[in-house]
Amino acid sequence: MNKALFSRREFLQTTAGAAGASLLTGSNFLEAEPIPSSSQSVAPSDRIRFGIIGVGMEGSNLLTTAIQLPGVECVAAADLYDGRHELSKEIVGKPIRTTRRYHELLDSKDIDAVIIAVPDHWHKQAVVDALAAGKDVYCEKPMSHNPADGLAMVAAAKKTDRIVQIGAQRTSSVLCAKAKALFEQGAIGDMNLIEATYGRNDPNGAWEYPLPTDLSPQTLDWDTWQGTAPKIPFDGYRFARWRCWKEYGTGVAGDLLVHLISGMQFVLGINEPPKKVSAFGGIYRWKDGRNMPDVHPVLFEYDNVPVYMRLSLGCESTEVTRFQGSKGVIELREFSVSYTPQFGVDTSPSYYSASFPAAMRNAYVKEWHEKHDPTPGQEPALETITYNGNDYDDLKPHLWKFFEAVRSRKPVLQDAVFGHNAALGCHLANESYFRGTPVYWDAASGTIKSLA
Ligand SMILES: NC(=O)c1ccc[n+]([C@@H]2O[C@H](COP(=O)([O-])OP(=O)(O)OC[C@H]3O[C@@H](n4cnc5c(N)ncnc54)[C@H](O)[C@@H]3O)[C@@H](O)[C@H]2O)c1
């Protein structure tokens, strides 16, 4: 056989010998932080009465989960679509006040806190109004619809002593906490790249949701729903599929990327926008009139390392974030986090020696083994350790952290500044896509600027 045609893999297989490292796999289950059961009695002074603003797809999840927590009670729900008044009563299972006007909740003295789960274009106004009314706020991700909204929300939060927690829930998961601990212990050595990816490939995943069958200008306050967006005649598709349009949503960036960014900020212990961003993409798969891209690969610089995040509604792929460094990889997934160490040194003679004449190659390989082969029985082992745990998208731990903060008045990790920075990453990704140039955040002017 012509040695010059050896592939890298074939060469390593034939020369690895005793220097080859064994790869073992271990697995552990991470217990979630204990949350007392809802049947546990709570002193009346510790009970929290909350209202919910927006009881749609996510609001209904939040409501269902929040009422399972001990000492937490929903007393009112606001939504512009009447069908969701009925839904909120069904979820709570006992009489609660319902209204189209969220200000009625904010004016109520018996409400301590509000959960806000309206579309992105309503986040700023609802949060600013809730804080002005003295309520603690849990607001869904992405915190803002645009940078100006984010700045206004941070300013409003700083003016009060109210708790503001943003709803990118995985920062409260045990899996992210484990990834953070591994990173802080130096498991991956010097970090030099982060990559994350997530893809969907079905109409639901691409936000082509079915319309509520009784939706009409009679059952929905369409005018108010549009908020500050340009006013158009009643359009049920805009109501149910608002993520498709930039006038209301923030695309795959604000819907999905924000989770990856928030998780990354938490693991790395950073709280700042990216230094620069370059995004690509287009509408490749879902040509249904939307104006947000359905394929959106984004290259960021965060914490002085490149971060490559690829979002797609055009082809399914599992969600994973890989923190890569000189000593190995931390891989974060929905139900697990694993750490695979790497030696970072040669474990076999160089495949470059395949280009040496036979006598020279044999001498090099022999000498290499003499110098580098470990003593038999003392071969170092590279072991991938996998920690399994509860779904990192479970809402319960994150809601529990919020209500605990409402009781204790201790600050939360995912506050308005954290949420603003995570959302900025998304806005920069969208802006780079629309402008077709790399962009950066100019903190002095509070605007996004082009680099090119
Ligand atoms: N954390 C997560 O994993 C997660 C998952 C899904 C959605 N979300 C976020 O939750 C928010 C809501 O998303 P959704 O899918 O539930 O949307 P949705 O359209 O299903 O529900 C939103 C509801 O808000 C109501 N609404 C709009 N403006 C209002 C106003 N001014 N006053 C009262 N009610 C108003 C609408 O009538 C609607 O019922 C979004 O910001 C989204 O990004 C987060």
Tens of pLDDT along 368-407? 999 999 988 888 888 999 999 999 999 999 999 999 999 9
Q: Which ligand 1 atom sits nearest the alpha carbon of residue 54?
A: 24
The residue assigned the tokens 């003016």 is: 159
Pair 182, 200 in one domain: yes
**53 CB less than 6 Å from ligand 1?**
yes
Pair 57, 88 in one domain: yes
Pair 164, 175 in one domain: no
Domain boundary among 132, 152, 169: 169
For residue 378, what pLDDT is reported?
A: 85
CATH number for the domain including 306?
A: 3.30.360.10
Helix/strand/coil for 303 = coil
Q: Quick check: is 18 in a domain?
A: yes
Q: Quick check: is 38 in a domain?
A: no
Q: What is the pTM of this model?
A: 0.94
Pair 215, 298 in one domain: yes
Pair 390, 312 in one domain: yes
The residue assigned the tokens 């610089």 is: 301
Pair 228, 155 in one domain: no
Pair 196, 324 in one domain: yes
Q: Which whole-number Å values give the CA distances from 80 to 56, 83, 84, 139, 188, in the listed order?
A: 10, 9, 8, 17, 49
Pair 153, 203 in one domain: no
Q: Which mutation among 140, 146, 222, 292 tests ligand 1's pocket best, with the greatest number of atoms within 8 A of CB? A: 140
> Does residue 9 carry a pLDDT above 60?
no
Cβ neighbours of 184 (radius 10 Å): 11
Q: Quick check: is 36 in a domain?
A: no
Write out the DSSP string of 44-113: GGG-EEEEEE--SHHHHHHHHHHTTSTTEEEEEEE-SBTHHHHHHHHHH-S--EEES-HHHHHT-TT--E
**389 CB less than 6 Å from ligand 1?**
no
**57 CB less than 6 Å from ligand 1?**
yes
Domain boundary among 169, 186, 202: 169
Q: Which whole-number Å values give the CA distances from 421 to 154, 319, 425, 426, 427, in the listed order?
A: 10, 22, 7, 9, 10
| Gap between the terminal Cα atoms of the chain | 52
pLDDT level of residue 5 (50, 70, 90 thresholds): very low
Give the percent of the chain with pLDDT over 70: 94
For residue 108, what pLDDT is reported?
A: 98
Q: Which ligand 1 atom sits nearest the alpha carbon of residue 123?
A: 41
**Residue 258: what are its φ and ψ, rounded to 5°?**
-60, -30
Domain boundary among 117, 136, 169: 169
Pair 142, 199 in one domain: no
Number of domains within the chain:
3
Calculate the average pLDDT of the chain. 93
Pair 130, 56 in one domain: yes
* Nearest CA among 206, 173, 200 for reference residue 334: 173
Q: Quick check: is 404 in a domain?
A: no
Pair 237, 249 in one domain: yes
Pair 225, 305 in one domain: yes
Q: Which domain holds residue 235?
A: 171-342+384-395+413-450
